[in-house]
Amino acid sequence: MKRVFSSLNLAEVHHARNLLEAEGIRAFVRNEFLSGAMGEVPFDQCQPELWIAADQDSARAERVLREGLLWGRAKGSIWQCACGEIIEAQFTQCWRCGSEKSP
């Protein structure tokens, strides 16, 4: 077993697990319920962690996570809708007016 990812954001850790499992890599989350202990226990010991079951999958797991945009590196760049709203790169539709991103 090897830890491949950790974050204070539990949703981000579960997203990472889903990315790995979609690639056939068995993964599980540790410290999922320790957030309530923060303050009593150092935060770095409470943060959710993602572990893989087989050490030989570690290089592939790291590649999947890197390509999965976990660290906010969306392909493309931010764009501005005709209504004036600034939209992050991963979105193709404006949340305010519903317009599609123009090519």
| pLDDT tens per residue across span 62-98 | 888 888 754 555 556 788 899 988 888 888 899 889 9
The pair phi, psi for residue 52, each rounded to 5°, is -105, 150
Tell me if the pTM is above 0.85: no
User: What digits encode the pLDDT tens for the residues 27-68?
Assistant: 999 988 877 666 677 767 778 899 999 999 999 998 888 887
Per CATH, which fold does 2-67 belong to? Alpha-Beta Plaits (3.30.70)
Domain boundaries, given as residue ranges, for the chain: 2-67, 74-103
Mean pLDDT over residues 12-26, rounded?
93
Q: Are 64 and 19 in contact (CB under 8 A)?
A: yes
Buried b (16+ CB within 10 A) or exposed e, 89-98: eeeeebeeee
pLDDT at 24 over 60: yes
**CA separation, residue 102 to residues 27, 46, 48, 80, 99 (Å):** 38, 43, 38, 10, 9
